[in-house]
Structure 1
């Protein structure tokens, strides 16, 4: 049974006339009649009662017509879905992100993507950089916004998207509030809150090296995994913290933020995906993300 036979059948069933049906499907009447006879022979039932003046559906033909219409509607929907997916207007993509990406630029990317591709299901997952790289390798996510610092990226490609400096977070009334820009060396002897080394070993070591260049070893009194916890601990008076500049929008009532001068590394966020990853919806998402790219020195 061929799809064209079903279309021929529908034309005859709806026109109730072989001549008009033949014109509708753009073939001559004899081949149309032959196709209908072949269809009846294949399914083993008579679909039409034929007279010299009219064509009528049999009871079996009427039932067959209902099912054929359902099949063709589903087929048309499938074709439309395939075209929408191929055009990046439908489908599903999974994207990972680190917290600073959501603080800085990712909400704008998400908002614009949803405006341009409302038919695409966007699944977001907050993960640290190592977890995202593992998820990319396993195919659990298709792209990730990560903080790269001397990471090995076998089979992946990275594109820098955002770069910002660290700032110092501290409670109001602290002696460093008088500085417009805090020298890194001024943190000597201050209790500090920092993330555990295993989260970003190379970046952690670079921060330690920057402090050493400034003439001190930081007094780390508490480790915190998330920025939210870090800032809450700073507000509680437990210590000071170096956080991405975009964090300054949080807890403005009970925290102060100052830029820091010194050899600290920048906070860099890159978009990472597999080298062979090509999906229309993902490509559209990436094109939008590139519009939010911040280059070195750009505010």
Structure 2
């Protein structure tokens, strides 16, 4: 192949790469606690005129040198899929991930305030239904989402996947090397104090969670305790809330999206879509 043809082929391939589907709309806002630090989020809007219900996705811990944060939901097509269903779909990069400034604090105040800032920004959009907002969090995102919902009675829906909700008893007797690694991350990010354990344990504040809540866990999860999913649901219900726990017997920490999606999609539609049927 001569050089002219190689250059033409390269130009054509580059053109194909530039004409792919957009991977969500990226934006940043200032972190409310720290001038000069930012919170990154991604969004995809429906084609309808609104008012739109909102689903906010919170990722879990990401290992490695490249930690894309909320961009994963854009890259995987999750935001686009939910936008096509009529939702304003938003994913947030937790502090220390993606383009969001650190530090990481294991779902502590700095992380919670980052999420709350994006929620406030989203609710300012006149096309949004501010009383029809749900949070879906996985692992660290589930811990964060539960804590945010404790302080925000206007969160209508909450989906918690593979989270921890009472840290002290779990960390006191870690059941696996993976659980010990979670404890080490907690200690390094928070100092491991009793106050840090208590303030990051959603079970302690379950009485204030007003959101309809679906809590999902794998029975074989070596990084969490599925009994805590049941305990959190029971505590929310005991204080007049509405919560359901579903433990998948055949799965561990990672429950495949295809396995859990049908249940979650029905729950979100029932909770946020005014004309949807009842799933629970």
In terms of fraction of residues, the more helix-rich structure is 1
**TM surpasses 0.5:** no
TM-score of the aligned structures, taking structure 2 as reference length: 0.29
Return the index of the structure with the highest Cα Rg: 1
TM-score of the aligned structures, taking structure 1 as reference length: 0.28
